[in-house]
Structure 1
């Protein structure tokens, strides 16, 4: 059964936020997107332990707390560490990729330049997590 996901999108670029929301709408998906513009805002959202997201989509290059720093904070928390976190970034830097997987990321998706390719990747990504058994904490 496909489930409706609550997705925490941590992204500082408004164009990328609009692109994801437009993609969800275009694909006629009924997921809920909660937006945070940086790691600090995301941590505030995650303080509400009774209303946690099913998955987190995380950009790496952000002000205040970058994606890797945020991931390390997340994975150090006994409750939050179980939320699947997928990097959604333009960085194809092998060092970033290795560091993310070493820290415990659930996936690493490079944002393609063409919008149609982006839609295809997001569709597959969300389809997978919609049927995956998720831990409810």
Structure 2
């Protein structure tokens, strides 16, 4: 799995938006162990996620193409996960990308707001290693192997 910002055409990639470095390492290990994506691009806050999706800032030279899945944390610096979700699901060029929230929050308000904004799935992070790894593996297996995505839309790069 390659964290570089260049995505070959036709590859199945995941955009992982997570500020906790330990969670990032665990998610990457689970995804790689089960060969669930060609590439995983990691960003550490919502602003960087939007830059990646819109091919701007540090990602202005990346080969445009939407990831097959966005794994999104809610509580992040700069731009929070709810705001990223709101922007992605309101943009015709991005809204078909499945977004799965992985959060430690069990708050009803967070869950309700995510679904109101159009999240495709909401998973509470398990606190134990085995549960966490199993959840990431199952999410990856469903969205990257079983799910039939819509025809590819143009990338959001403008």
State the distance in 2 between where 1:119 and 1:31 align.
19
| CA deviation string 1:17-61 (max 9, x = no partner) | 111111123334444110111111111111148321001000000
**One of 115, 118, 125 as aligned partner of 1:111:** 125
TM-score using structure 1 length: 0.91
Query: 1:37 corresponds to which residue?
Result: 44
| CA deviation string 1:66-94 (max 9, x = no partner) | 11011111112111111110000111111
Contact 1:10 1:42 in 2 (8 A): yes
State the distance in 1 between where 2:100 and 2:79 align.
17
* Gap runs ≥5 in structure 2: 1-10, 56-62, 154-158
Contact 2:31 2:140 in 1 (8 A): no
* Gap runs ≥5 in structure 1: none
**One of 119, 122, 133 as aligned partner of 2:148:** 133
State the distance in 2 between where 1:44 and 1:25 align.
25
> What is the aligned-residue RMSD (CA, Å)?
1.8
Query: 2:74 corresponds to which residue?
Result: 60
Contact 1:90 1:110 in 2 (8 A): yes
Structure richer in helix, relative to its length: 1
Q: 1:24 to 1:76 in 2, by over 3 A?
A: same
Q: 1:95 to 1:14 in 2, by over 3 A?
A: same
Range moving further from structure 2, 5-14 or 29-38: 29-38
Contact 1:24 1:31 in 2 (8 A): no
TM-score using structure 2 length: 0.79
**One of 78, 98, 115 as aligned partner of 1:101:** 115
**Equivalent residue of 2:130, what SS?**
helix
